[in-house]
Amino acid sequence: MIDRETKIIFNRAVAPDTFLMGLWSREIVAGARPGQFVMIKAGLSADPLLRRPFSICAIQGNDVFCILYRVVGRGTKILSRVTEGNRLSVLGPLGRGFDFPKADQKPFIVAGGIGIAPLIFLAQAINSDNLTFMAGYRHKDEIVAMEKFSLSGMEINIATDDGTAGHHGPVTELLEARLDGPDEDRRVVFACGPLPMLERVADLTNDSCIPCQVSLETTMACGLGACLGCAVKAASKETDVYYHVCKDGPVFDVKTLYWGAR
């Protein structure tokens, strides 16, 4: 784990309000596992104050890692305006990444919107024709072209909420359609996206007893397990057991989490 002023290699729009940024850091590239994230300070001002967490979305060679981010507020807007050659304060890699599927397993990756970021890195790392990648978007304009990430010849399925591309409906319907049939017990699911989507994935995989890992998002202050701000409720008989997303996650086995009313 390092905390370093890190040089920006590129920072460009890849879809409306969605940017891909490449950052130069041999240490982060060497240490990063899919599912891990970095904390980045946007701007030099004390407002916005806190660093923002971003999943490591891909690595390029030995020196460059990427983040894929959507502009949703002030921090991401500031980032979107930073130009090549400048530096950002980057802390990482942080958190617990995905456990890789075993060689005989059939991995399904399910991404909702910008939740695709950590899953691209995971797909890069699994690097197998056996993998099925399902990506859901609201509209076809939001689709992040996967060609840039030199993924192997995996199956890629798209769903859009408005039917402008691929399956018309939530991405979880794509998953649902593939949960029955032969080799059921070899399936394993990896998901990241908005909470309602993850809840649906949790339901589906629980019902089918399919192992499933999800990557969660919460507000974070430190990213280091120090502030205890990033709590999520654990699936525990005791009512008030919490995990800390930055340290115990962001990737969790769905069965360890509480999926009741949030």
Ligand X SMILES: Cc1cc2nc3c(=O)[nH]c(=O)nc-3n(C[C@H](O)[C@H](O)[C@H](O)COP(=O)(O)OP(=O)(O)OC[C@H]3O[C@@H](n4cnc5c(N)ncnc54)[C@H](O)[C@@H]3O)c2cc1C
Ligand Y SMILES: Cc1cc2nc3c(=O)[nH]c(=O)nc-3n(C[C@H](O)[C@H](O)[C@H](O)COP(=O)(O)O)c2cc1C
- In the complex, which residues of this chain contact other proteins (CB under 8 A)? 1-3, 41, 46-51, 89, 91, 218-233, 239-242, 258, 260-262
Q: Give the closest residue to 37 by CA, choosing from 100, 77, 97.
A: 97
Residues 165-224 that bind ligand FES (CB under 6 A): 220-223
Its sign, for the CA torsion 244, 247, 250, 253, is negative
- Pick from ligand FES, its own copies, ligand X, none: which does 261 bind, CB < 5 to 8 A by kind? none
DSSP secondary structure letters along the chain? -EEEEEEEEEEEEEETTEEEEEEE-HHHHHH--TT-EEEE--SSSSSS-S-EEEE--EEETTTEEEEEEE--SHHHHHHHT--TT-EEEEEEEESB-PPPPPTT-EEEEEEEGGGHHHHHHHHHHH--TT-EEEEEESSGGGPPPSGGG---S-EEEEEETTSSSSEES-HHHHHHHTSSSTTGGGEEEEEES-HHHHHHHHHHHHHTT--EEEE-----S-SSSSS--SEEEBS-SSTT-EEETTTT-BEEEGGGB--S--
d(CA 224, CA 47): 21
- Residue (211 or 229) nearer to ligand Y, CB: 229
213 is an interface residue for ligand X by CB under 6 A = no
Residues shown for the chain: 262
- Residue (125 or 221) nearer to ligand Y, CB: 221
45 is an interface residue for its own copies by CB under 8 A = yes
**Residue numbers of the site for ligand Y (CB under 6 A)?**
227, 229
- Pick from other proteins, ligand X, its own copies, none: which does 117 bind, CB < 5 to 8 A by kind? ligand X
d(CA 255, CA 203): 10
Residue 45 CB, shortest distance to its own copies, in Å, is 4
Among 48, 194, 225, 229, binds its own copies (CB under 8 A): 48
Residue 77 CB, shortest distance to ligand Y, in Å, is 24
d(CA 160, CA 112): 10
Q: Which residue is nearest to ligand X (CB)?
A: 73
Among 30, 177, 209, 227, binds ligand FES (CB under 6 A): 227
Residue 38 CB, shortest distance to ligand FES, in Å, is 13
Strand partners, 250: 96
- Pick from ligand FES, ligand Y, ligand X, none: which does 202 bind, CB < 5 to 8 A by kind? none
- Residue (49 or 177) nearer to other proteins, CB: 49
55 is an interface residue for ligand X by CB under 6 A = yes
- Residue (7 or 247) nearer to ligand FES, CB: 247
Site string for ligand FES, 233-262 (x = CB under 6 A): -----------x-xx---------------
- Pick from other proteins, ligand X, its own copies, none: which does 144 bind, CB < 5 to 8 A by kind? none
Site residues (CB under 6 A) for ligand X?
A: 37, 48, 52-55, 57, 67-70, 72-76, 114, 117, 217-220, 250
